[in-house]
């Protein structure tokens, strides 16, 4: 019965929230970019290359956060069978994929001048590459299975199995000796970063979070409409036969 639940209330809320979240996300991104390029001081070791961190770290955080959201939505879809939960998970995947790709690319652009290599097969980099392929596999899976309920079920399982990779990514810098530096913000003893560097980083992180909400609302509206179109078409075929 819930499969036919009317998402009208969600649509009404999403329509009001879309312009606000989109506007706030763009505005805060511009503030963040300004702070990252003009306000933040160069690092005493890394120099101006440090500025790559302000687009790298928030993208990497989002890569993980979006995956966790996708897995939680998948779990909710499994337990309560709420139709919007599958839609939220499916709508999140391309956004997570883009954030993961950005984390990898900006990381390579930082690695080349700092480590002298675009890529190393180190625990952190490899586990994030696996995250990229998890997102990709999830998207492909939705497209590969024609029957929507079976596709949703397979996608949920993949999202939930893949969540083991999230703690692996987070702790990879502690469990294995890696080239990638350890955490500087999420530490037990507090952030080990000067305030003029921390502020642009946090502003960019909040901006990326709001952009995620905006893009999620847009993509969920798209999914809801596409499902509605599918049922309308099925109804027409049923009526004509």
Binding site for another protein (CB under 8 A): 22, 29, 33, 37, 42, 47-49, 51-52, 55-56, 59, 94-95, 98, 101-102, 105-106, 109-110, 112-113, 211, 214-215, 218-219, 221-222, 225-226, 228-229, 232-233
Q: Where are the alpha helices (DSSP H) in the chain?
A: 8-34, 53-80, 83-115, 123-144, 148-162, 165-175, 195-240
- Tokens 């505005």 found at: 27
Is 176 strand, coil or helix? coil
Q: What is the nearest approach in angstroms of another protein to the Cβ of residue 39? A: 13
Q: Which is nearer to another protein, 159 or 214 (CB)?
A: 214
- Tokens 């009404």 found at: 12
Q: What is the nearest approach in angstroms of another protein to the Cβ of residue 52? A: 5
Query: Residue 204: how many CB atoms within 10 A of its CB?
Result: 25
Structure token pair of residue 220: 């969920």
Q: Which is nearer to another protein, 155 or 211 (CB)?
A: 211
Q: What is the nearest approach in angstroms of another protein to the Cβ of residue 79? A: 28
Q: Within 13 Å, how many C-alpha atoms sit on residue 152's CB side? A: 22
Q: Which is nearer to another protein, 170 or 227 (CB)?
A: 227
**3 Cβ partners below 8 Å, 6+ apart?**
81, 83
Q: Which is nearer to another protein, 156 or 219 (CB)?
A: 219
Q: What is the nearest approach in angstroms of another protein to the Cβ of residue 100? A: 11
Q: What is the nearest approach in angstroms of another protein to the Cβ of residue 89? A: 16
Tell me 42's DSSP state. P
Q: Which is nearer to another protein, 98 or 163 (CB)?
A: 98
């Amino acid at each position: 019965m819930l499969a036919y639940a009317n998402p009208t209330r969600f649509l009404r809320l999403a329509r009001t929230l879309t312009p606000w979240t989109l506007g706030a996300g763009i505005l805060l991104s511009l503030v963040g970019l300004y702070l990252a390029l003009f306000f933040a001081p160069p690092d005493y070791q890394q120099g101006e290359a440090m500025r790559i961190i302000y687009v790298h770290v928030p993208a990497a955080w989002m890569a993980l956060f979006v995956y966790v959201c996708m897995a939680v939505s998948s779990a909710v879809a499994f337990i309560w069978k709420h139709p919007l939960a599958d839609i939220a998970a499916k709508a999140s995947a391309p956004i997570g994929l883009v954030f993961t790709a950005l984390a990898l690319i900006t990381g390579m652009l930082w690695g080349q001048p700092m480590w002298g290599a675009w890529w190393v097969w180190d625990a952190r980099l490899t586990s994030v590459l696996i995250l990229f392929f998890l997102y990709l596999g999830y998207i492909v899976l939705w497209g590969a299975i024609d029957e929507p309920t079976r596709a949703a079920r397979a996608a949920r399982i993949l999202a939930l199995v893949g969540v083991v990779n999230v703690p692996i990514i987070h702790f990879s810098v502690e469990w294995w000796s890696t080239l990638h530096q350890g955490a500087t913000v999420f530490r037990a003893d507090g952030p080990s970063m000067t305030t003029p560097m921390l502020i642009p980083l946090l502003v960019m992180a909040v901006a990326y979070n709001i952009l995620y909400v905006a893009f999620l609302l847009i993509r969920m509206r798209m999914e809801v409409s596409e499902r509605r179109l599918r049922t309308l078409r099925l109804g027409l075929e049923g009526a004509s036969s």
